[in-house]
Each structure stands twice: as C-alpha cells, then as structure tokens.
Amino acid sequence: MRARRTQKDRRSDSEEALLNAAAELFAEQGIEKTSVAAICHHAGYSHGLINRHFGSKDVLVETLAVRCQQSFVDGLDSSSAENGREAIVTAADEYLKAFAPASPMARCFIVMWGAALATDAGHESFRQVDEDVRQRVVVWLESGVEDGSVSSQVNLSAFSAMLIAMLRGLAAQILISPENIDLGTVRREVTSFIEMTISKERAR
C-alpha cells in the first residue's frame, strides 16, 4: 500500500509544478509578458496558488532565478577529471551541451539573466551564483597549477570571468540562432581555446 501523501508533499509538488510552468513560459515569452494567471493555468492550478505559496510573482521569479542558476552550478561536474585543466574543459563542454537542444530551464536561465541586466530584480541572486561559479573555476585553476596542467602565469580571476562570459555568450547565440551554430565545432574550439590559454605551453 502506498503511503498517504502529506500536506507537505502536496505543497512541494504544487510549488514544483508552478516553477516548472514559469520556466517554460518565461523561456517562450519572457518574464514581463507572463502573467500569474498564465503560470497557474499552465501548471493546472487555480489563480491564487502563486500568492499562497510564494507571496507574489516577484518572489516566484527570485526563487526560479536561484533554481535556474543552481541547476547549472550542479551540472558543472568534473569529478572524473584527471587534473585541473581537464576539469575546466569538461565543465565548459557540459555547459554548452545543455543548450542543444535547450531544456526549458536552460533557456529560462538565459532569459532571466538578460532580464536581470535591465532591472535591479534578480541582480543579487545572479551576482552571488556568478561569484560561486567563478570561484569554482579558480579552484580548478589552482588545482591545475599544483598538478602541473595549468600555467602559473594565468591570471586566475581574469580567466574565470572570461570563461563564464564566453560560455554565456555562446549559449545565447545557440538559443537565438541554433541553425547557424555548429555546436560540435564550437565545443571543439572552446576546448582548444581553454587548453591553449591556460596550459604550460603558453609560457614558452
């Protein structure tokens, strides 16, 4: 016999459905054009559920922004990499693969990031997660310097910022014009760029 679902379980399921619905709609039509009613309808719930669970659309947007970003942070798994340089290459490649084809959450991430550039809403959450990702890249670089796979001449913080900017810009291009982007070639070029930029050979 299946265990009886608790109120906490039902609340968690409905919040999950609302967030997934919001991600799909934001990815399709943007944040401003998506109404609370549309999100609830898409999720299969009544109009007032967002206010009961999140208090407002703004809080839902903030919650979803954190989730979208965290999904990318969690996806940067380089645990199988043999050295620091390989960890960065693997993470960058996994990042790009998330956009071909793009999941609603991946597309939503780019849409919400773009919206954060035009308004104060979301700036803090994106700033914090970006700092976390940059720091993760720095840790990999430091590990690479220690194991000999990364040149000690690399400016760790600068390269970290450049890498994130490159990957995010490429992701946006893939979403905007996928038919004009050869993802396989782009992935190979990104790998070559990373290895050329941070390997010990650059110091010679």
Domain membership of residue 82 as a residue range: 64-203
> How high is the pLDDT of residue 123?
61
> How high is the pLDDT of residue 152?
94
In the chain, the N- to C-terminal Cα span, in Å, equals: 68
Whether 203 has a pLDDT exceeding 50, the answer reads: no
The answer to the question of residue 110 being in a domain is yes
The answer to the question of residue 1 being in a domain is no
The answer to the question of residue 133 being in a domain is yes
The answer to the question of residue 193 being in a domain is yes
pLDDT tens digits along 114-146: 777 776 655 666 777 778 888 989 999 999 999
The answer to the question of residue 35 being in a domain is no
Identify the CATH number of the domain in which residue 144 sits.
1.10.357.10
**Euclidean distance between CA atoms 56 and 76, whole angstroms:** 31
The answer to the question of residue 11 being in a domain is no
Taking each helix axis from N to C end, the angle separating 84-97 and 57-75, rounded to the nearest 10 degrees, works out to: 130
18 vs 71, higher pLDDT: 18
| Number of domains making up the chain | 1
Give yes or no for a cis peptide into 101 (omega within 30° of 0): yes
**Euclidean distance between CA atoms 20 and 12, whole angstroms:** 12
> How high is the pLDDT of residue 128?
75
The answer to the question of residue 77 being in a domain is yes
Record the pTM.
0.76
The answer to the question of residue 165 being in a domain is yes
**Euclidean distance between CA atoms 44 and 65, whole angstroms:** 22
